[in-house]
Amino acid sequence: MSDTTALPYPAADAASLEFSPEQMLTMGEAVLARSVAHLGSLDRQPSCGDVDAADLCRALREPCPEHGAALEPLLDQLFDELIPRSFTTPGPGYLAYIPGGGVYPAALADFIANTTNRYTGVWQASPALVQLEANVLEWLRDWMSFPDGASGLLTTGGSGATFNAILCARERYLGTDIRPGVLYTSDQGHHSIEKAAKLAGIFHDRVRLIPSDAQFRMRVDSLAAAIAADRAAGLRPFMVVSSAGTTNTGAVDPLDAVADLCRAEVMWHHVDGAYGAFFHAVPELRPLLAGLPRADSLTLDPHKGMFLPYGTGALLVRDGEALRAVHSATAGYLPAQQLEFYDPSQYGPELSRGFPGLRVWMAVKMLGAARYRAAIAEKRALAVWAAERIAQVPGIVMDAWPQLSLFAFHLEGPRLTTQEARNAATAALMERVTRRGRVMLTGCTVDGRHLARVCVLSFRTRREEMEACVMHVTDEARTLLT
């Protein structure tokens, strides 16, 4: 190889950061070739890469390079050395945590969004592009059966969506008097709820974790009692965050009953649908999420249930004006506000921003809603199929059947006489299955009990991987119990 590494790009003008069209095409083709080859190899990659990488991380520390390098060696390093040292999150065998996958049209959209680099913070700067984002939010609104007056916001994830929902509720019910406000969620609620509450000024002494029932759903009787106790103590209950699919076991809280209680108590009902909301896009599955459209606001995570790459969450707010009231702002250097069209910086905390709507728009336009519904329904069917089989494995006890596409179980056996032993065996089961390389499982701890989980939500997961999952769980359970 000739010495292209030293100064591959125009050296004549040291202050120029531009590349020639030929260079850009060549570099783009190189990136595309690597990326597509990577996708083609996903089903042969181990489900969990070698993440024991502390030494590698230390070796990677380096001073800021003074001079630029060529692209190829950087791609070598990324694709050959670094990317494989990770969980294979886009792979078909990723059944850990909450998968998603990352559909290809979104990658194309990101490339376009980043090369064209248009400003979508204020409507006037790129009205037609902002309209695409507004369309996306309306599609989400329709899938969730939210009313016309609802508005929304694309965020970087579910955590950011819940944070903004808490701001809406706080502004509406507490105004400037934040301290007496109390927020309720269940002991199975995602930790991002407490974190978002704290960021919004609702500290831990004003967050109540309501106990859940045997199926890990929030107990509405306990919720009502907690609200009454706080009122009696002179506090101001203002918000309940329920879960449409918990991360631990996939439990769906009694959303209708919580909605009834919130209406009676004049409180804000937010539903955390980061994992589960997209099942509502499938009409046949809507009964599983009864009450979801009654929420005051809803967290969605398109990087889970819409199979987009990481970095896309969404919030829907039933009364769009409540979202606008929190974020709307003016400044002398900004264009005058207009009210006809959606305007991202009037509905969200950011001013300068990328174009998060394009990846959602492009994915839906290229794949179509029907295909999305079919994929989502298939993931649930696969989870139900696998749960029925895994439940029959000797020694396996199901703790949570799939309400959506996630189920949880643990191992029991004559020699596993203590909770500790059962926990260790359940952890070993997941570890051994994962080490086989086809599927990756992770667990959760609930009340001192360690549970294994299977979450089917990668668009790449098909029947084949679920067959492998059942087989490997069966084999490893037998090995651990004999």
Ligand X SMILES: *Cc1c(COP(=O)(O)O)cnc(C)c1O
Torsion over CA: 309, 311, 315, 320 (sign):
negative
Catalogue the E-assigned strands of 274-357: 297-300, 313-317
Q: Least distance in Å: CB of 350 to ligand X? A: 16
The answer to whether the CB of 276 falls within 8 A of the CB of 139 is no
409 phi-psi bin (left φ>0, alpha ψ -120 to 50, beta other): beta
Nearer to ligand X, 169 or 396 (CB): 169
Q: Least distance in Å: CB of 5 to ligand X? A: 38
Task: Collapse the DSSP code of 125 into the 3-class scheme (helix H, G, I; strand E, B; otherwise coil) and give the result.
Answer: helix
Instruction: Choose one: 70-78, 126-134, 267-275, 337-345; the region binding ligand X (CB under 6 A).
Output: 267-275
Helix (H) or strand (E) holding 151: strand 151-155
Any bridge partners for residue 298, and if so which?
A: 271, 316
Angle at which helix 158-173 crosses helix 191-199, to 10 degrees, equals: 50
Among 107, 144, 274, 408, which residue interacts with ligand X (rule: CB under 6 A)?
274
The answer to whether the CB of 433 falls within 8 A of the CB of 441 is yes
Angle at which helix 356-367 crosses helix 104-116, to 10 degrees, equals: 140
Q: Least distance in Å: CB of 155 to ligand X? A: 8
Beta-sheet strand order (sheet of 181-186): 151-155, 313-317, 297-300, 268-273, 236-243, 181-186, 207-210
Nearer to ligand X, 93 or 309 (CB): 309
Nearer to ligand X, 47 or 159 (CB): 159
CA distance 150 to 138: 9
CA distance 50 to 293: 42
Nearer to ligand X, 270 or 422 (CB): 270
Nearer to ligand X, 157 or 402 (CB): 157
Instruction: Choose one: 217-225, 238-246, 335-343, 456-464; the region binding ligand X (CB under 6 A).
Output: 238-246
Nearer to ligand X, 130 or 241 (CB): 241
x/- contact string, 125-164, with ligand X (CB under 6 A)? --------------------------------xxx-----
Among positions 187-216, residues that touch ligand X (CB under 6 A) are 190, 192
Q: Least distance in Å: CB of 310 to ligand X? A: 8
**Kind of pairing, strands 297-300 and 396-400?**
unpaired
Nearer to ligand X, 110 or 272 (CB): 272
Nearer to ligand X, 277 or 393 (CB): 277
Nearer to ligand X, 273 or 344 (CB): 273
Q: Least distance in Å: CB of 26 to ligand X? A: 36
226 phi-psi bin (left φ>0, alpha ψ -120 to 50, beta other): alpha
Among 89, 247, 426, 461, which residue interacts with ligand X (rule: CB under 6 A)?
247
Among 110, 301, 343, 465, which residue interacts with ligand X (rule: CB under 6 A)?
301
Among 275, 342, 355, 409, which residue interacts with ligand X (rule: CB under 6 A)?
275
Residues 6+ apart with CB under 8 A from 91: 42, 43, 45, 47, 440, 458, 460
Please tell me whether residue 313 binds ligand X under the rule CB under 6 A.
yes
Q: For ligand X, how many residues bind (rule: CB under 6 A)?
A: 15
Retrieve residue 27's tokens.
Answer: 């570099």
Among positions 14-73, residues that touch ligand X (CB under 6 A) are none
CA distance 64 to 67: 9
Q: Least distance in Å: CB of 252 to ligand X? A: 11
Nearer to ligand X, 272 or 399 (CB): 272
Q: Least distance in Å: CB of 56 to ligand X? A: 25
CA distance 388 to 405: 12
Q: Least distance in Å: CB of 244 to ligand X? A: 8
Q: What does the binding site for ligand X look like in residue numbers (CB under 6 A)?
A: 98, 157-159, 190, 192, 243, 245-247, 272, 274-275, 301, 313
